[in-house]
Amino acid sequence: MNVMAKAEKKISSAFIYFFGSFGGILFGYDIGVMTGALPFLQADWHLENAASLVGWITSAVMFGAIFGGALAGQLSDKFGRRKMILMSAIVFMVFSVLSGVSPDMGEASAYYLIIVRMLLGLAVGAASALVPAYMSEMAPAKARGRLSGLNQTMIVSGMLLSYVVDFLLKDLPGEWAWRLMLGLAAVPALILFLGVLRLPESPRFLLRKGDEAQARKVLSYIRKNPAEIDQELASIKETAKEERQANQKTSWSTLCSGKYRYLVIAGVGVAAFQQFQGANAIFYYIPLIVQKATGQAASSNLMWPIVQGVILVVGSLVYMWIADKFNRRTLLMVGGAVMGLSFILPAVINWMMPNMNPMTIVVFLCIYVAFYSFTWAPLTWVLVGEIFPLAIRGRASGLASSFNWIGSWLVGLIFPIMTASMPQEAVFAIFGIICILGVIFVKTCVPETRGHTLEEIEEQGTNHGRVKASNPEN
């Protein structure tokens, strides 16, 4: 026991925050890896004309994630954040390897891979729920905004990593390339597992289980001032008491009550719009999009995912710089407007100039990704974390997450079906219209949360969105 205590004391706060957020790498890697694997998989299994199967293989992870996030949230309250992150890493490793060794059995192979990727999605969904929860419970209040940005940076870094791996493996024989791309996802999962083995449990969970001594010890690793530790322990106790009381007084029907309906619609609506705006259509299918636009083989277009991965990483860093300098609504509306135009303009230009350069659509997609990366991508979860009052926070956040995953799954599923039945520019124009509808939604239905206390935000909900005219800094 003394040896364990000495080992724990050597853990730096930087180590805790790095591996605490490293689950985002897994999340991002699996979002991105299919982008490069899919062209080789299609050729190997002769799925070029099987749009629905391609959609299911791609979106199966997101379908599993719908349930993984909800399941992990409940289990982590019983077993702890750390243990569930470890379990997620194991599940991720196992089903990544099983994806890479998919048997070649004709059409049955596709159904095997769909099922395996659904089970893999349980780990992806769990990571998406557990990592922010663990980080928020470990980070000091003054650093939560930046560490929220760190989680987003980890996710997009995982996507970029998968794009680079796909590019490096593209010259292998087709039947080996996609298998290694999918199977190598086990490597970051193994790194996460080994790193989390040394992480402590969150002090909030420890206090809920009555282990105040251990909670104090964990806080001593990441807080320097003993008075700060005492104050935070008291605050955690008070918050836990309030949450227990709130959970006893609320139910799912409470979300529809007049007092909370406005805020629930706002938070859940933003989470849903983030996915239905079509970002994942680009992330999953960019090589196929370029192939359809230019006629070049998708397997030779794997530099484009790297370009968009770099844009995403840079955008996440830009967000961390501007996060507290502009209102949430302003960034969402500006970002949504540019994203919508980036989707709509290629269709308009193609209608007016039928012989336009086919790469025009790809350039506009890069503009879309750039604005998405520092507006809707990170701000959706910042706003969801701020907008729900304590009494409904657990249920409302879970509902928002579910709608987000449902949107991600549906976009991944139907995009290849849509592009098989209509021009690519028309498909993106539809997503562009959804982006503009998202801007209107933010303008009319979402209150400003930057600089407002939870009580002020709740008052806005009670008054059906009558936003105060006060300066958000006040």
Distance CA 209, CA 198 (A): 20
List of E strands, 239-356: none
CATH tag for 251-474 (out of 3.40.50.2300, 3.30.70.100, 1.20.1250.20, 1.10.10.10): 1.20.1250.20
Distance CA 215, CA 138 (A): 11
Q: Report the pLDDT value the prediction gives residue 183, as an integer from 0 to 100.
A: 94
Work out the pLDDT band at 2, boundaries 50, 70, 90.
very low
Who wins on pLDDT, 390 or 121? 121
Tokens of 170: 């593209």
Q: Report the pLDDT value the prediction gives residue 359, as an integer from 0 to 100.
A: 80
Mean pLDDT, to the nearest integer, of 20-49? 86
Q: Report the pLDDT value the prediction gives residue 242, as an integer from 0 to 100.
A: 67
pLDDT exceeds cutoff 60 at 468: no
Q: Report the pLDDT value the prediction gives residue 97, as an integer from 0 to 100.
A: 96
**8 A C-beta contact, residue 62 and residue 408:** yes
The residue type found at 89 is A
DSSP secondary structure of 362-412 = HHHHHHHHHHHHHTHHHHHHHHHHHHS-GGGHHHHHHHHHHHHHHHHHHHH
Q: Report the pLDDT value the prediction gives residue 114, as an integer from 0 to 100.
A: 94
Distance CA 187, CA 181 (A): 11
The percent of residues in the chain predicted with pLDDT above 70, rounded, is 85
Q: Is 356 helix (H, G, I), strand (E, B) or coil?
A: coil
Work out the pLDDT band at 315, boundaries 50, 70, 90.
very high
Q: Is 223 helix (H, G, I), strand (E, B) or coil?
A: coil
**8 A C-beta contact, residue 135 and residue 4:** no
Work out the pLDDT band at 458, boundaries 50, 70, 90.
low
Q: Note the pLDDT tens digit of each residue in 243-302.
A: 666 666 666 667 777 777 888 899 899 999 999 999 988 988 888 888 877 777 666 678
Q: Do domains 14-199 and 251-474 have the same CATH topology?
A: yes
Distance CA 433, CA 422 (A): 16
What single-letter DSSP state applies at residue 357? Answer: -
Work out the pLDDT band at 322, boundaries 50, 70, 90.
confident
Q: What is the average pLDDT value for the chain, to the nearest integer?
A: 83
Who wins on pLDDT, 9 or 143? 143
A 10 A CB-CB count for 353 gives 10
Q: Report the pLDDT value the prediction gives residue 405, as an integer from 0 to 100.
A: 87
Distance CA 339, CA 367 (A): 7
**8 A C-beta contact, residue 415 and residue 428:** no
Mean pLDDT, to the nearest integer, of 411-436? 91
Q: Note the pLDDT tens digit of each residue in 362-375.
A: 889 999 999 999 99
Helix axes of 13-21 and 144-169: crossing angle, nearest 10 degrees: 60
Q: Note the pLDDT tens digit of each residue in 163-198.
A: 999 999 988 887 899 999 999 999 999 999 999 998
pLDDT exceeds cutoff 90 at 152: no
Q: Report the pLDDT value the prediction gives residue 470, as an integer from 0 to 100.
A: 40
**8 A C-beta contact, residue 357 and residue 467:** no
Work out the pLDDT band at 327, boundaries 50, 70, 90.
confident
Q: Report the pLDDT value the prediction gives residue 298, as an integer from 0 to 100.
A: 64
Q: Report the pLDDT value the prediction gives residue 394, as an integer from 0 to 100.
A: 66
Q: Which of 210, 284, 248 is nearest to 35 (CA)?
A: 284
Distance CA 110, CA 104 (A): 9
Chain Cα centroid distance, residue 111: 26
Mean pLDDT, to the nearest integer, of 442-453? 81
Who wins on pLDDT, 31 or 453? 31
Min mean pLDDT across 119-123, 278-282, 362-366, 465-469 is at 465-469
Chain Cα centroid distance, residue 332: 17
Assigned CATH topology for domain 14-199: Growth Hormone; Chain: A; (1.20.1250)
Domain boundaries, the chain: 14-199, 251-474
pLDDT exceeds cutoff 80 at 474: no
The percent of residues in the chain predicted with pLDDT above 90, rounded, is 31
Measured in degrees and rounded to the nearest 5, phi and psi for residue 91 equal -60, -40
Rounded to two decimals, the pTM is: 0.80
DSSP secondary structure of 407-465 = HHHHHHHHHHHHHHHS-HHHHHHHHHHHHHHHHHHHHHH----TT--HHHHHHHHHTTS
Q: Report the pLDDT value the prediction gives residue 464, as an integer from 0 to 100.
A: 54
Q: Which of 313, 308, 261, 270 is nearest to 289 (CA)?
A: 308
Q: Report the pLDDT value the prediction gives residue 92, as an integer from 0 to 100.
A: 93
Mean pLDDT, to the nearest integer, of 335-353? 92
Q: Report the pLDDT value the prediction gives residue 142, as an integer from 0 to 100.
A: 63
Work out the pLDDT band at 145, boundaries 50, 70, 90.
low
Min mean pLDDT across 231-235, 306-310, 417-421, 429-433 is at 231-235
What single-letter DSSP state applies at residue 199? Answer: P
Work out the pLDDT band at 144, boundaries 50, 70, 90.
low
Q: Which of 275, 301, 276, 297 is nearest to 286 (CA)?
A: 301
Distance CA 208, CA 347 (A): 55
Who wins on pLDDT, 77 or 127? 127
Q: Report the pLDDT value the prediction gives residue 260, as an integer from 0 to 100.
A: 79
Who wins on pLDDT, 403 or 381? 403
Buried b / exposed e across 167-183, counting CB within 10 Å, b at 16+?
bebbeeebeebbbbbbb
**8 A C-beta contact, residue 29 and residue 158:** yes
Structure-token match 């992870």, residue found:
61
Work out the pLDDT band at 225, boundaries 50, 70, 90.
confident
A 10 A CB-CB count for 357 gives 12
